[in-house]
A and B are shown apart, each in its own frame.
Chain A
Amino acid sequence: MKSKNIATVNKSVCVSCGACLDACPMSAISTPDGCYAKVNEDLCVGCGKCSRICPTGCISIIKREEQQNEEN
């Protein structure tokens, strides 16, 4: 069962430092192209650890429905 919340990255602010990668207990974050952090929606449990460690504050925790609405 998927969590209610999910992490989302503001790409324009992310510097791809990798602090969130270390903090994520689910290994749900990666930087596939080296430019920005990317959240694996299936693995993310929305715990917010990445959001609390990000030095630029570019990761927010939002409701999954909100994210789906944003995508549509």
Chain B
Amino acid sequence: MKKTKKWYDYLWIWPIVYFSLGYFNILFAWLGMIDFIVPLIIAGCGGGKAFCNRYCGRGKLFAVIPKLFKKENKKVAPGWMYSNIFRYGFLIFFLTMFGSMVYQTYLVFAGSASLKTAVKLFWTFKVPWKRAYTVTSVPAWVTQFSYGFYSLMLTSTLIGLIVMALYRPRTWCTFCPMGTMTQGICKLKK
């Protein structure tokens, strides 16, 4: 029996559109805030993990890619990867990196640091991304946040793609910081 496809089954297009737009104009990185705010609003309003379950474009993308290439890894993720210690540890690490990125944005806003037109992958490797700096009329801090946020989104997607190849398609979802946060909210509300 085949299920009829709903509009949200095609949301795997969203991350592709997002990264493509950011490739040409870094300011589009702000659109990623949707993926940050909407899951929390849904979970906070009693909608549970509807975002992860239905509307997460990244999750859908990880499910679609192996199907497309007909190479679905059947290996279950190792236990530590979905243990609470790792999940909450990764969440803390992720939020710390997010905080550091916001602080960097503040420094640019305050004039204590200059704008860095590079994307930082895995919080370590700087990749020049100056061609995406096409709109120069906006305040520098707005652009700095874009670079920081795009780096965060790209890094997490790359981690997701790596674990997708090594284990079952949606292994990223087991320790996705947004998933951990929303599940935490649901457990608290219960």
Name A's B-contacting residues (CB within 8 A). 13, 15-19, 21-22, 25-27, 31-35, 52-57
Contact = CB atoms under 8 A, between A and B. Distances in A.
Contact of A19 (B50, B173, B190): B173
| Category for how many chain B residues contact A | 35 or more
Interface string B57-69: 0011001000000
> Interface of chain A, helix or strand or loop or mixed?
loop
Given A15-B173, A35-B186, A56-B82, A27 B52 contact: no
A57 B59 CA distance: 17
Given A18-B173, A26-B1, A53 B168 contact: yes
Nearest to A13: B82
Contacts, number: 93
Contact of B82 (A15, A27, A31, A33): A15
A35 B173 contact: no
Interface of B: 1-3, 9, 43, 47-50, 52-54, 56, 59-60, 63, 74, 76-77, 82, 87, 167-171, 173-174, 176, 179-180, 182-183, 185-187, 189-190
Contacts of B179: 15-17
If over half of B's interface residues share one DSSP class (helix, strand or loop), that class is named, otherwise mixed; here it is helix
Nearest to B172: A55
A69 to B, nearest CB: 26
B167 A55 contact: yes
B3 A15 contact: no
A18 B76 contact: no
Contact of A16 (B2, B49, B63, B171): B49
14 contacts: A13-B82, A16-B186, A17-B179, A19-B59, A25-B3, A31-B48, A31-B53, A32-B48, A33-B189, A34-B49, A35-B187, A55-B82, A55-B169, A55-B173
